[in-house]
Amino acid sequence: MSLAEILQITWLSLTVSGLAVLLAFLTGLPSAIWLYLRDFRGKRFIISLINTGMGLPPVVIGLFIALLFWRNGPLGFLQLIYTPAAMVIAQFIIAFPVVAGLSFVAFEQVETELLLQARALGASRLQMIKILINESRLGQLAALIAAFGGVISEVGAVMMVGGNLKGYTRVLTTSIVQETRMGNFSAAIYLSLVLLALSFTVNWLLTSIQHRGETKWKRPNWK
Amino acid sequence: MEKTELEVKGLRLTRGSNWTLNVPSFELRKGECLVLFGPNGAGKSTFLRVVALLEEADGGEIYYQGRLIKDNNRTELGRRAVYLLQKPIFFKGTVRENLLLGLKFRRFEPSEQLKRLETILGLFQLEPYLDRSPFELSGGEKQRVHLARAFIIQPDFLFLDEPFNGLDVDLKDVLLEDFSRIRKSIGTTTILVTHNRDEAAFLADRIMVMIDGEIVQAGPVEEVFSRPATPEVSRLIGHETLVEGITVGEEQGLLKILAHGQTILAYGSAQAGQRVILTFRPEEVILTREKPTTSVRNWFYGPVEEIKSFDRLTLVSVNCGFNLKAIISRASLEELNLQPGEQVWAGIKASALTVAAP
């Protein structure tokens, strides 16, 4: 396996999963805000659905997306099966409940009277939402970390909707499966290390943002 | 002082089946400090939140400076007011950021923000804490930051829900005085909720007593404290002296009652040997150093236990076998020059006593 090939695979892994998480963040966060601020019948039901979604096996999601985009399927005309776009969509569906669900929990951790005090100091609705996001920043980033960790490491969905096509839809996880199957253990190990390094780098970046501005870790002294 | 700044008409709000806030009319004058006084659960906080536009009533109208509050001007007019929750709740960031938040919400120019910050730091002595997290501060310091972030906005209205609750006494006294001084110097029109009568007496230009969601009495401090409109208000204000005794006979058409080893004369009717409760209001009590020879029939003698000064009135507690409470003017206190521990005569006319069965 050439270096160029590895770089291409790594780059695709990063962009597919990164894009999926970005989309999940852009839709999941507003959904969580909406859920948090509104009271309506069936709210609890929706929260349960989202929580269930967090634990859905990627292969099941892969199956549904594959059925949807199959040539004769309802969305077959889009010709997305075995494309990176289909992989992004599948991973987005895996990441969305994680982002929405964990963001919602993060909002619930914020003291309820905080928004009331913000309003009472003159905050508009938008300013209250900004306060809400800022106060739950740790939780929001935890949601991103969990979502990214989930999709960068999953293999079932990308395999089923992407097809592991060399040079087109092959990503780190699918190539590790491929190399192992072919008995190329050293290549598989090498790719695994790349995957781990990639995962670590992204998480380290997110963790740095998460704890930006925190002067010290507040915890009791265990000595 | 006479201009109406805030007006409420026909306010109603029902919670559950047996609780209703009902305020047919309410007015707040420019610059005054109105103390909303009442027991817990009376609806004071709810009323305050409704008036602060944080909660909607079932019916009624609210006017800020003559303008009716509607959905489309709620945020705009709401920014003329600041409401502080009882518990000082802070936002992530430093004391500085917390203090400036209200100005940021209102999009003040940075130069104006700085100017106001400097003024407020001086008034509340918060300079040393500016770059610290408010979560690290002590209770009193937190409360200072809490109050300061309201005053920095220079709101037309300030609504405070029990701002001095849960502070220890020394701290509270200092903060009360600082608050009162700063509020008067800026002239902020204020409604303050409390169930503490000392706080009420110290801060209020006007007191409004609320019981079960209704305003039962409103007026200047002296008036409400010396002439409670209903027995409930009088109990709430809590200055009434109650003495338990036994009727022992009659003398010149007056009931003779034995209480705490003393004979008390009062108007009323009761069988000899019957247990009775005597009550009298503190403003009816006369305090002197020498026992005078006046028509006053009942005199008690004992040491002064406590002297509490309000703005214009002073509450003196005297231990004469029972705890007797007297309200006298600040001038009379100065004339008497009383100190705690000193012996004093307390006189009360027979006609000022109420006799009731226990």
Give residue-wise pLDDT tens across range B3-27: 789 999 999 999 877 778 999 999 9
**Cβ–Cβ of A120/B89 closer than 8 Å?**
no
Q: Which domain holds residue A78?
A: 3-210
Contacts of A216 in chain B (CB under 8 A): none
CA distances to B29, B193, B313 from B66, in Å: 12, 24, 35
Q: Give residue-wise pLDDT tens across range B218-256.
A: 998 777 876 777 767 776 776 667 788 899 888 888 889
Which pLDDT does position B357 carry in this prediction?
67
Contact across the interface for A113 and B153, Cβ inside 8 Å = no
Contact criterion met (CB < 8 Å) for B83 and A113: no
- Is the Cβ of B78 closer than 8 Å to some Cβ of chain A? yes
B87–A124 C-beta distance less than 8 A: no
Q: Span A195-218, mean pLDDT?
A: 82
Q: Kindly state whether residue A113 falls inside one of the protein's structural domains.
A: yes
For testing the chain B interface, which of A113, A114, A116, A121 should be mutated: the one with the most B CBs within 10 Å? A121
- Residue among B56, B105, B131, B152 with most chain A CBs within 10 A, to mutate: B105
Question: Smallest CA–CA separation between B52 and chain A, in Å?
Answer: 8
Q: How many domains does chain A have?
A: 1
Q: Is the CB of residue B271 less than 8 Å from the CB of residue B247? A: yes
Residues in chain B within 8 Å Cβ distance of A116:
54, 85
* pLDDT reported for residue A118: 95
Whole-number average pLDDT of chain A: 92
| Res A219: pLDDT | 65
Of B91, B149, B153, the CB nearest to A135: B91
pLDDT of residue B1 exceeding 50, the answer is no
Residues 21-40 of B with CB under 8 A from A: none
What span, in angstroms and rounded, lies between the C-alpha atoms of A127 and B303? Answer: 59
**∠ CA B281-B285-B291 to the nearest 5 degrees?**
160
Amino acid B196: pLDDT: 77
Question: Considering the domain boundaries, does residue A219 fall inside one?
Answer: no
Residue B190 pLDDT grade (very low, low, confident, very high; cuts 50, 70, 90): very high
Mean pLDDT over residues B84-109, rounded? Answer: 94
Chain A contacts to B (CB-CB under 8 A): 111, 113-114, 116-125, 127, 131, 134-135, 137
Rounded to 5 degrees, φ, ψ at B267 are -80, 140
Q: Is B162 left (phi over 0), alpha (psi -120 to 50) or beta?
A: left
Residue B2 has pLDDT above 60, yes or no: no
pLDDT above 70 for A223: no
Binned at pLDDT 50, 70 and 90, residue A6 comes out as very high
Report the pLDDT averaged over residues A53-60.
Answer: 93
Residue A216 lies in a domain: no
B114-125: average pLDDT: 92
Indicate where chain B has its CATH 2.40.50.100 domain(s): 241-356
Residue A152 — very low, low, confident or very high, per pLDDT cuts 50/70/90? very high
Residue A143 has pLDDT above 70, yes or no: yes
Contact B143, B86 (CB under 8 A): no
Instruction: Flag whether A77 is in a domain.
Output: yes
Q: Which of A113, A124, A134 sits opposite B89 (nearest CB)?
A: A113
Tens-digit pLDDT profile for residues B302-349: 999 988 876 667 888 899 888 888 888 777 888 888 889 999 999 988
Per-residue model confidence (pLDDT) at position B79: 93
Q: What is the mean pLDDT of chain B?
A: 87
CATH superfamily for B4-237 is: P-loop containing nucleotide triphosphate hydrolases (3.40.50.300)
Q: B241-356 has which CATH code? A: 2.40.50.100
Q: Is position A222 within any domain?
A: no
CATH 3.40.50.300 in chain B: give the residue spans: 4-237
Q: What is the pLDDT of residues A19-29, one digit of tens each?
A: 999 999 999 99
List the structure tokens of B21.
Answer: 């806030």
Candidate from A121, A122, A134 with C-beta closest to B92: A134
Q: Does residue A124 register a pLDDT over 60?
A: yes
At residue B236, φ and ψ (nearest 5 deg) are: -65, -45
Best residue of A113, A117, A132 to probe chain B, by most B CBs closer than 10 Å: A117
Q: Which residue of B has its CA nearest to A124?
A: B75
Mean pLDDT of the A2-9 span: 93
CATH assignment of the domain containing A55: 1.10.3720.10
Q: What is the pLDDT of residue B358?
A: 60
